[in-house]
């Protein structure tokens, strides 16, 4: 589904990415790990079309993500660490606004269903985003991704600052997205959550992907040990 080949990027003389190869299949949640500055955000920013790479390829269902950014934006949903929404609009209005921007026009009841399926309690649908907690904003962010029918969900530190209950709710929605055949790429420092939710993990070090592993049969303690030995 997502195939990344030999992605390279330098900032001046600093090589931020030294040839990254990555494959994510439908239904897979791939956790990208690594110390600060390892290159996780650079990888993500290139896939989202925010940064131009110096070399390499990335395709999603055979579509050239780097060469056709307009098409790519219809296939890829992005959930940043802090979801940017309009604070004076309600959750429902934000969802409708961003969906219409993406070319979708659903009924009000469909928007409500999407918010509810993402775990946002009904009374919050018509409250302004300005009064939401971070976890509630993340739920609207996931609803926007679902409404867009994206094939790939890209997330950068999506659980930072969320309490354990909010992480659990959030993880269930991400799993549901993957269970519907979507692929997920998540950069994170949260090793515990990466093991709990991820199907596969990659550990980056100084611009290289130095370890990939399956999460089956691995504990958070095993991962922490491997991570600390690797970075």
Ligand X SMILES: Nc1ncnc2c1ncn2[C@@H]1O[C@H](COP(=O)(O)OP(=O)(O)OP(=O)(O)O)[C@@H](O)[C@H]1O
Cβ of residue 166: shortest distance to ligand X, in angstroms?
A: 21
**Terminal alpha carbon distance of the chain:** 28
Residue 16 binds ligand X (CB under 6 A): yes
Residue 159 binds ligand X (CB under 6 A): no
Give residues with Cβ within 8 angstroms of 197, minimum separation 6: 29, 31, 171, 174, 175, 186
Residue 109 binds ligand X (CB under 6 A): no
Closest CB to ligand X among 135 and 207? 207
Cβ of residue 94: shortest distance to ligand X, in angstroms?
A: 26
User: Which tokens in the block code for residue 20?
Assistant: 């990254």
User: By rule CB under 6 A, what string of x and - marks binding of each residue 35-64 to ligand X?
Assistant: -xxxxxxx----------------------
Q: Exposed e or buried b for every residue in 82-121, given b needs 16+ CB within 10 A?
A: ebebeeeebbbbbbbebbeebeeeeeeeebbebbeebbbe
Task: List the one residue from 31, 34, 91, 158 that touches ligand X (CB under 6 A).
Answer: 34
Cβ of residue 171: shortest distance to ligand X, in angstroms?
A: 20
Q: Tell which residue, 213, 195, 196, has the closest CA to residue 204.
A: 213
Give contact residues for ligand X (rule: CB under 6 A). 11, 14, 16, 34, 36-42
């Amino acid at each position: 589904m997502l195939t990344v080949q030999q992605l390279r990027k330098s900032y001046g003389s600093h090589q931020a990415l030294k040839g990254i190869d990555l494959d994510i299949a439908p239904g897979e949640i791939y956790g990208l790990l690594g110390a600060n500055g390892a290159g996780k955000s650079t990888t993500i920013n290139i896939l989202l079309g925010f940064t131009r790479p110096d070399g390499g390829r990335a395709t999603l269902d055979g579509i050239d993500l780097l060469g056709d950014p307009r098409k790519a934006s219809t296939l890829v949903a992005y959930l940043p660490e802090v979801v940017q929404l309009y604070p004076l609009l309600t959750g429902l209005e934000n969802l409708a606004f961003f969906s219409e921007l993406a070319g979708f026009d659903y009924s009000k009841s469909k928007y409500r269903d999407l918010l509810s399926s993402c775990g946002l309690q009904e009374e919050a649908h018509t409250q302004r985003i300005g009064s939401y907690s971070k976890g509630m904003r993340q739920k609207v962010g996931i609803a926007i991704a679902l409404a867009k029918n994206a094939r790939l969900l890209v997330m950068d530190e999506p659980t930072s600052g969320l309490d354990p209950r909010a992480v659990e709710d959030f993880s269930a929605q991400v799993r549901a997205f993957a269970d519907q055949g979507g692929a997920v790429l998540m950069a994170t420092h949260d090793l515990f959550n990466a093991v709990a939710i991820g199907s596969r993990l990659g550990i980056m070090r100084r611009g290289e992907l130095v370890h990939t592993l399956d999460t089956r049969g691995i504990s958070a303690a095993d991962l922490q040990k491997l991570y600390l030995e690797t970075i």
